[in-house]
C-alpha cells in the first residue's frame, strides 16, 4: 500500500509542478537594449561660458532674491557663484535655517558647473534615474539653483535654500532675472 501512496503523491507533485498556473515561466531575454531616451540632434544645455560674474552684479542678484523672499516672508540663504561654482557672495537672512547655507551654495555650484537648473537632477532622481549621483560628489539634486546667463553666456549661478524646493526655486528665479 505504501508504494501506491508514494507513487500517487509523486504523480500529483509532477502534475502540480508542470501546471501552467503554478509553474514559473522563464522570461525571454530582450532582443534589443532598452531606450535611454534617444540621441538628440543638438547638445542640451550648451550654454557657452562667459566672463565670471563680479561682486557688484552678484550683489544685485542677491538683493532681488532677498527682496522677493522678504515680500513672501520666507527666510532664505542665498548664494551666487562664478562659472567654476566658487562662491562670489553669500547671504543668510535673519532666522534662516543654518543647514541651508551650504545647501544654497551646493545648488548654485551644481547649476553653474552643469549649466542647467539644479531641478533637472532632482527630476532625474524622481523619475527613477539615480545615476546622477555618480556624476559629481558635490552635486545637489534639489530645486533652487539657477544659471545666470548674460548675453547668451553663462556667468555664474544663484542658489537658494531655506524653504521647500519650489520656494527656493521661486526666489532664485527672481534673482536670475536681474542678469538677463
Domains present along the chain, CATH in parentheses: 55-177 (3.30.450.150)
Question: Does pTM surpass 0.85?
Answer: no
Percent share of the chain, pLDDT over 70: 79
What DSSP character marks residue 130? G
Query: Over the chain, what is the mean pLDDT?
Result: 86
Q: Any residues with CB less than 8 A from the CB of 37 and at least 6 apart, and which?
A: none
- Residues 103-116: what's their mean pLDDT? 97
- Residues 16-43: what's their mean pLDDT? 57
pLDDT at 23 over 60: no
Cell 509553474 appears where? Answer: 23
Integer Cα distance of 104 and 161 in angstroms = 5
Query: Could you tell me the pLDDT band of residue 44, with boundaries at 50, 70 and 90?
Result: confident
How much is the pLDDT for 102?
97
How much is the pLDDT for 39?
77
Query: Could you tell me the pLDDT band of residue 105, with boundaries at 50, 70 and 90?
Result: very high
Cell 539615480 appears where? Answer: 130
In this predicted model, what pLDDT tens digit does every residue of 126-158 receive, in sequence order? 999 988 889 999 999 999 999 999 999 999 999
pLDDT at 22 over 50: no
How much is the pLDDT for 17?
53
Percent share of the chain, pLDDT over 90: 68
In this predicted model, what pLDDT tens digit does every residue of 46-84 receive, in sequence order? 898 999 999 999 999 999 999 999 999 999 999 999 999
How much is the pLDDT for 167?
97
Integer Cα distance of 87 and 80 in angstroms = 6
Q: Which phi and psi angles does 176 have, rounded to 5°?
A: -65, -30
Integer Cα distance of 44 and 177 in angstroms = 21
Residue 147 near residue 99 (C-beta atoms within 8 A): no
Q: Which of 10-14, 18-22, 77-81 has the highest mean pLDDT?
A: 77-81
Task: Identify the three-state secondary structure at position 95.
Answer: coil
Amino acid at each position: 500500500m505504501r508504494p501506491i501512496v508514494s507513487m500517487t503523491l509523486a504523480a500529483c507533485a509532477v502534475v502540480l509542478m508542470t501546471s501552467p498556473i503554478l509553474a514559473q515561466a522563464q522570461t525571454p531575454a530582450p532582443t534589443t537594449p532598452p531606450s535611454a531616451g534617444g540621441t538628440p540632434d543638438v547638445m542640451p544645455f550648451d550654454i557657452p561660458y562667459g566672463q565670471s560674474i563680479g561682486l557688484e552684479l552678484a550683489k544685485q542678484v542677491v538683493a532681488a532674491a532677498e527682496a522677493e523672499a522678504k515680500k513672501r516672508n520666507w527666510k532664505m540663504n542665498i548664494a551666487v557663484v562664478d562659472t567654476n561654482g566658487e562662491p562670489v557672495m553669500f547671504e543668510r537672512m535673519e532666522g534662516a535655517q543654518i543647514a541651508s547655507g551650504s545647501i544654497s551654495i551646493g545648488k548654485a555650484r551644481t547649476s553653474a558647473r552643469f549649466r542647467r537648473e539644479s531641478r533637472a537632477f532632482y527630476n532625474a532622481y524622481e523619475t527613477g534615474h539615480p545615476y546622477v549621483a555618480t556624476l559629481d560628489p558635490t552635486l545637489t539634486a534639489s530645486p533652487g539653483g539657477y544659471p545666470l546667463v548674460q548675453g547668451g553666456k553663462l556667468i555664474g549661478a544663484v542658489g537658494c535654500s531655506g524653504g521647500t524646493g519650489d520656494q527656493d526655486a521661486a526666489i532664485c528665479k527672481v534673482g536670475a532675472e536681474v542678469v538677463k
